[in-house]
Every structure is written in C-alpha cells, then in structure tokens.
C-alpha cells in the first residue's frame, strides 16, 4: 500500500469501481473525496489493481491525439491501467451494455521484453523501443463513470482509470515494424454500416514510439516500473469511431494486419 493512501482515496476508488461494474454514472466525485491533482488521481487509480485476481495486464494512454484530447477536454495524455479481466482476443464479441462514450479506437500496442524502472533521467523513444518484445494491433473501447467527462478535469479522469473499459488485443505484427516509419503508417477504422475514419501513427503523440516513452516516463515520475510482459496501448490513431449495439468494428493497419470486434445487440 502506498503510505500516502488515505481513507478518502479508498472511498473514491470504491465508488468509481462500483459505478463501473453497475454501468452507472455520477456528475463528479463528492468534494470530500475528489482528487485535486494528477498525483491524487493516480493514487486513487492505483487501488484498482487490488481488485484484479491476476497480474496487471498493462497500461493505456488516453488523449495522445488532438481528437482524443478534445473528446475528454484535456490538454495532454493520461495513463490508465489495463486489467486482465477486461482484455479480449481478436474477433471477440463484447456486450455493449451501458457504455456511455460509445466509441472504439484503433491502436498500436507494445509488449515489453524487460523492465523500465523509475530513474531520474527521462527515457528516450529509442530506449523505450529497445525494451519492447513485440508490436500488436489493438482496439480500445473506453468509457467513463461521469455523466459528462468533458467537465470533470484530468485529476478525476485519471482517478477513473483514464476512461479504461474494454480492450481487444489483436494479432502480433510479424512484419519488420522496427524498420518502418510508424508515424507515417496509415490506419483505417471501419464500422458496419459504412462509417470510416482514416488515421496514421503520427496522430499518437507524433509517433507511437514517442507515446511509449511518454508512458515510461509518466510511470517513472510516479515511482512505478513498466514491467516486462506488460502491454502498453498507445492511444487512438484515428478519430474515435461512433458505435452502437450490434455493430461490427475493425481497424486495418495495412501491411501490419487488422483487428476486429463485434458488439451484442443489447
């Protein structure tokens, strides 16, 4: 347990987790347990790991694109935790349920080969990529426990696990992705019914590899190790796709492959 953890942190975590499980929302956290800073938010977020019976699957980065930042009204990226119980295979059918945000994002995801522990100096993108085992394609289905996520601010969004919800880990990339310009690499998100959003790797903080380094440095500043085996999904490469019950969704990464999911009708 973090020695700085407070009873208010635990109450905030309990409330947010209960809302997530029940598919319910609130305007914002009660003032007495509301995080005031990003550090407060991350302290509350960290408690979610105790609710999983499995080791932490990895990390998500929210708001790595201008579209993503506008979607939740923040001015920079936020980190969140991926729980193993919420990770699904390529082609999975997911219950649509009470999803409030109703979007899907297509992402580049890295699985780590070795630890990147906290240290005083920042990790470069080259150092971060050197610690990667493999690149995967992924779909993230974010959601919020707030009525209007654009009105609550970064600290509360971080406490709410940076809008983490469901995650589909697609195929491992077999092409020589290290020799490719991921920033220039095109992506295409498609929803049954004809909605298409084009994107590219540069929409992810300029390059998915830069986003990976950002995450390593964000965790380093929190005293947290990015561990071998963990997956880092780097944020949406195209404007989030609007979805509804019954939709089928895919993200085409060209020579790297494609990943898909389907929603139930309820």
Provide the residue range defining the domain that includes 192.
7-263
Q: What are the backbone angles phi and psi of residue 152, rounded to the nearest 5°?
A: -105, -20
Question: What pLDDT score does 71 carry?
Answer: 81
* Enclosing H/E stretch for 117: none
Please give the tally of structural domains in the chain: 1
3-class DSSP state for residue 195?
strand
User: For the chain, what percent of residues have pLDDT higher than 70?
Assistant: 98
Residue 1 counted as domain residue:
no
Report pLDDT digits (tens) over 226-236: 999 999 999 99
For the chain, give the number of residues. 266
Report pLDDT digits (tens) over 182-191: 999 999 999 9
* Enclosing H/E stretch for 208: helix 208-221
Q: What are the backbone angles phi and psi of residue 252, rounded to the nearest 5°?
A: -100, 120
Residue 163 counted as domain residue:
yes
Residue 152 counted as domain residue:
yes
Residue 55 counted as domain residue:
yes
- pLDDT of 11 over the 90 cut: yes
Residue 2 counted as domain residue:
no
CATH of the domain at 192: 3.90.850.10
- pLDDT of 9 over the 70 cut: yes
- pLDDT of 242 over the 50 cut: yes
Where does the pLDDT of residue 163 fall: very low under 50, low under 70, confident under 90, or very high at 90 and above? very high
Report pLDDT digits (tens) over 169-205: 999 999 999 999 999 999 999 999 789 999 999 999 9
- The pair of structure tokens assigned to 110 is 């890295």
């Amino acid at each position: 347990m973090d020695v700085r953890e407070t009873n208010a942190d635990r109450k905030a975590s309990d409330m947010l987790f209960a809302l997530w499980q029940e598919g319910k929302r609130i305007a914002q956290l009660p003032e007495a347990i509301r995080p005031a800073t990003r550090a407060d938010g991350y302290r509350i977020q960290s408690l979610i790991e105790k609710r999983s019976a499995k080791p932490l699957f990895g990390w998500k980065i929210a708001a790595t694109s201008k579209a993503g930042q506008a979607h939740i009204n923040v001015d920079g990226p936020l980190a969140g935790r991926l729980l193993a119980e919420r990770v699904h295979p390529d082609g999975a059918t997911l219950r649509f349920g009470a999803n409030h945000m109703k979007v899907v994002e297509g992402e580049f995801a890295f699985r780590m080969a070795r630890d990147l522990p906290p240290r005083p100096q920042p990790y470069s993108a080259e150092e971060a990529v050197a610690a990667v085992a493999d690149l995967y394609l992924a779909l993230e289905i974010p959601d919020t426990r707030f009525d209007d996520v654009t009105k609550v601010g970064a600290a509360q969004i971080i406490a709410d696990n940076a809008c983490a919800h469901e995650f589909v880990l697609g195929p491992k990339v077999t092409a020589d992705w290290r020799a490719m310009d991921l920033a220039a690499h095109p992506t295409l998100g498609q929803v049954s019914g004809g909605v298409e959003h084009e994107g590219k790797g540069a929409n992810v903080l300029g390059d998915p590899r830069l986003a990976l380094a950002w995450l390593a440095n964000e965790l380093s500043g929190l005293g947290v190790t990015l561990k071998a085996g963990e997956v880092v999904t780097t944020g949406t490469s195209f404007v989030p796709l609007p979805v509804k019950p019954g939709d089928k969704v895919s993200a085409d990464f060209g020579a790297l492959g494609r990943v898909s999911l389907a929603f139930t009708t309820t």
